[in-house]
A and B are shown apart, each in its own frame.
Chain A
Amino acid sequence: MRARPLFLPSALALGLTFLYAPILLLVLFSFNESRLVTVWGGFSLKWYGALFRNEQMLEAALVSLRIATTSATLATVLGTLAALILVRFGRFRGRLLFTGMITAPLVMPEVITGLSLLLLFVSLETTLGWPSGRGVDTIIIAHTTFCTAYVAVVVQSRLGGLDRSVEEAAMDLGARPLKAFLVITLPMLAPALVSGWLLSFTLSLDDLVIASFVAGPASTTLPMVVFSSVRLGVTPEINALATLLVLVATVTILVAAAVLWRQERGQR
């Protein structure tokens, strides 16, 4: 028994170091004067300047933000409906297929999802004439589809733990199911909806493989630009971009966590 209290904390500390050391090094070297990514040449912000002058990168970032906002919103709507169906609707014809289609995208290798959606879009175009060509719209559809699965899982766990009596009281008092849902259930689900949206936004912003398959010539996303420049070699500009992304993610998560924590405490 004596070895254990030391073993567990040190395993955790090592694990967290493993997770964070590379990210911290990226941030550190984004302020490096030297072009060499691994030799310290003094403090400098010049790579941030270079990043903001890189028009290809900025343009791609705008495309990515547009795609991420739209698909996160669509996925939150669809995913919430899906969670509602799974938790509240009991049995219906085709339920097994539905649960399968909801959970499979969570683990499906991205190359398969990307290829299959591309072939769908091509087949639809040749038979129906829609979508004409591929671009932002097809990426939005692809991202919405796999983000829906993540939203469904997040909302499902919150919905499962929800107290139904308030909703039932409203319905006893004559609220129709739709109204009870909008006035009572939806506000109680808000934290799950927010985290589902944020998760979808992040996943969409980050996706390289699926977007590469379904993108058109005019819809280069940020990960595609990053990937092609990383393939050519390591540049400190990417470090600067990484630092900004890490900063945004950290601030968002901390704010979301603080808000949720306060809300939970307020409820008690």
Chain B
Amino acid sequence: MARIMIAFALAVIGAAIVATVIQTQFNLAALVALSVPIDLTVRMHAISHDLLHFGPIIALIFIPTFAIAFMVAYWLSVKLKVAERWWFILAGGVGLAVAFTLIDSLAPMPTLIAANRTLLGFILMSSCGAFGGWIFDRLWHPRPQELLEELP
């Protein structure tokens, strides 16, 4: 169980970091298009700020999303007995796309996350769920190789 919890936490953290960096780049790109000067220091400052302030918020969205998505992925992989990793990747990505859509339909503002205002941004942000699914599946149970290494 501890391994599953750690794998889940790492999936959330890893996906949140990637999602944060992606959304920061979208925000900065919009400013660059307005001729706002964004040098490396400013870019790093923006990433740092967003990792501290946006990262925890997006992680809070990922936790329930991944919990549901990964259970569905596990059920599908057991039921169909094939391609476990792909089910987790697909479930993470689709789960996040559904979660973003649901949040935007419920939140008072039309789009909660600025990067999701464009189709490309929405796809890239949702793909962070797929990345989370990949991390979780990679870590949540020992691979056959690891089990062999544990034999005396």
Chain A bound to chain B: no
